[in-house]
């Protein structure tokens, strides 16, 4: 998938005009990129559209209009765009109650390494998590992790041939399996692959 460049972004003025419509389009698009893993964990799969929205919002909020600042945002967010042989996702641990969330983050250390995807009966595809910086300590994990799922050529071929897509978590304190992944999410993820 092609990375974003400065000339593909809206200027601040133009974004102010198109923002309501663009935001609605992005929210509709994101419904097909969200995969709930049980009641308290979610994978939000990124792509060019979700990343453009994040960049546009950052430029708007920070009032960034100079080339150097725009390029910094592109450098920060472009790595979240899939490369054609992978999926990139933001993994969120979501407990609404603050005290429960704090307690669970202590119990879920290492959960980012126990998330998986599977195509057909193939091997579990484990994510490469938090390439930018560590988000877990010996005492707790973070509520947000960034993941890259690298697919083999056989995985891609299997999915394109109609293989079932499944996902889950097999952490000792949080276990869930989604089989099959909903069709709308599967199709959206299939579009990420070259």
User: Which pLDDT tens digit goes with each residue over 69-82?
Assistant: 999 999 989 999 99
- The counts of H helices and E strands in the chain are 6, 8
So what's the pLDDT on residue 1?
67
Coil, strand or helix at 101: helix
For residue 148, the cross-strand partners are 88, 128
What is the chain's alpha carbon radius of gyration, rounded to the nearest angstrom? 18
- Residue ending a domain, among 80, 100, 120, is 80
Query: pTM for this structure?
Result: 0.92
My answer on whether 92 and 182 are in the same domain is yes
Number of domains the chain is built from: 2
**Is residue 17 assigned to a domain?**
yes
């Amino acid at each position: 998938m092609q990375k974003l460049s400065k000339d593909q972004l809206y200027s601040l003025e133009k974004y102010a005009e198109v923002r309501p419509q663009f935001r609605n389009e992005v929210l509709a698009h994101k419904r097909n990129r969200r995969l709930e893993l049980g009641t308290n964990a979610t994978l939000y799969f990124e792509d060019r559209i979700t990343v453009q929205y994040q960049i546009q919002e950052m430029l708007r909020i920070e009032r960034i209009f100079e080339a150097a600042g725009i390029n910094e945002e592109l450098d920060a967010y472009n790595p979240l765009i899939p490369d054609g042989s992978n999926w990139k996702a933001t993994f969120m641990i979501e407990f609404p109650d603050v005290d429960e969330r704090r307690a669970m983050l202590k119990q879920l250390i290492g959960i980012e390494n126990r998330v998986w995807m599977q195509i057909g009966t193939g091997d579990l595809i484990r994510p490469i998590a938090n390439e930018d910086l560590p988000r877990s300590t010996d005492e707790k994990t973070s509520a947000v992790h960034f993941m890259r799922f690298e697919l083999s050529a056989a995985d891609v071929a299997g999915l394109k041939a109609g293989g079932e897509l499944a996902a889950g978590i097999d952490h000792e304190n949080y276990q869930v399996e989604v089989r099959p992944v909903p069709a709308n999410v599967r199709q959206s993820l299939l579009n990420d692959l070259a």
